[in-house]
Amino acid sequence: MPSKKKYIFSISNQKGGVGKTTTAINLGSFLADQGKKVLLIDLDPQANLSSGVGFSTKIDGNWQNANKAPYSSIYDVLTQEKNISEVFVTTDIKNLFLVPSHLSLAGAEIELASQLARESLLKKAIENFDEEFDYIFIDSPPSLGLLTINSLVAANKVIVPIQCEYFALEGLGQLIETVRMVKNLNSELELGGVILTMFDARTNLATQVVDEVRKYFKDLVFETVIPRNVRLSEAPSYGKPINLYDTKSSGASSYKKLAKEFSSRFV
């Protein structure tokens, strides 16, 4: 792989609501703040990443008919109608770019099922995209279906956010098995890191989960733990990463710290 595409991260965990999208938005924007050139690829039909960085996925306040996308999106890339170069957009953050998603992507699993090399559509699109980035992040949906497989095949590292809650480790075996299977298609792929999210210092349980995850994944776990912070959950409704919404919040300082740790790990 050419060095300009050295770091392609798939942010994956088939468990829903563990902080995949929040991490893509805020880790991505603090890395961009550091001067890194970052591309976020929204591979989830929910398009939370797209709206979370201020991209309008609505027209006149309504969700569009799934078949009538009002803008070009990752859907057009996967169906090979468009190149990423025609679809990616700038955001309010300098150095931060987005390939938006659209609800029409929800049908992609079925529509692409008969495509040749359907697992490698995103990989091919990224290879054909002739622009340099320091980091590319792919935000995966909460499933292990064709979209997540595309995310894993396109990446060279998997980042797994884990919520500091009961059952945190449940289902991770399945994810790791999927990563192992994807290695047949993409031998470069490896686990790049585990991020502990939504830590609540008031509970013993959260501390126990942190210990358990560290014991299991060892050095792969980032030192920085992301606390539960209401400002992080409010920011997406304003279409803003936390560094534009509330710089002083604990959510902002923790994602800033994570971004520092991240760029020193992935130089």
Per the CB < 8 A criterion, the answer to whether 57 and 43 are in contact is no
For residue 229, the minimal CB distance to ligand ATP (Å) is 5
Taking only Cα atoms into account, the Rg of the chain, rounded to an integer number of angstroms, comes to 17
Give every strand in the sheet of 89-90, ordered side by side. Answer: 89-90, 96-99, 38-42, 135-139, 8-11, 157-163, 190-197
For residue 29, the minimal CB distance to Mg ion (Å) is 16
* 39 bridge partner residues: 97, 136
Contact with Mg ion (CB under 5 A): which of 12, 13, 14, 21? Answer: 21
Tell me whether residue 21 or residue 156 sits nearer to Mg ion (CB atom). Answer: 21
82 vs 62: CA distance, rounded Å: 25
Contact with ligand ATP (CB under 6 A): which of 4, 17, 176, 208? Answer: 17
Q: Distance of alpha carbon 76 from its chain centroid, rounded?
A: 19
Contact with Mg ion (CB under 5 A): which of 15, 20, 123, 228? Answer: 20
Residues in the interface with ligand ATP (CB under 6 A) total: 19
**Residue 196 binds which one of Mg ion, ligand ATP, none, with CB within 5 to 8 A depending on kind?**
none
For residue 243, the minimal CB distance to ligand ATP (Å) is 14
Interacting residues with ligand ATP between 148 and 207 (CB under 6 A):
197-198
Binding site for Mg ion (CB under 5 A): 20-21
Q: In the complex, which residues of this chain contact ligand ATP (CB under 6 A)?
A: 16-22, 44, 48, 142, 197-198, 226, 228-229, 232-233, 236, 251
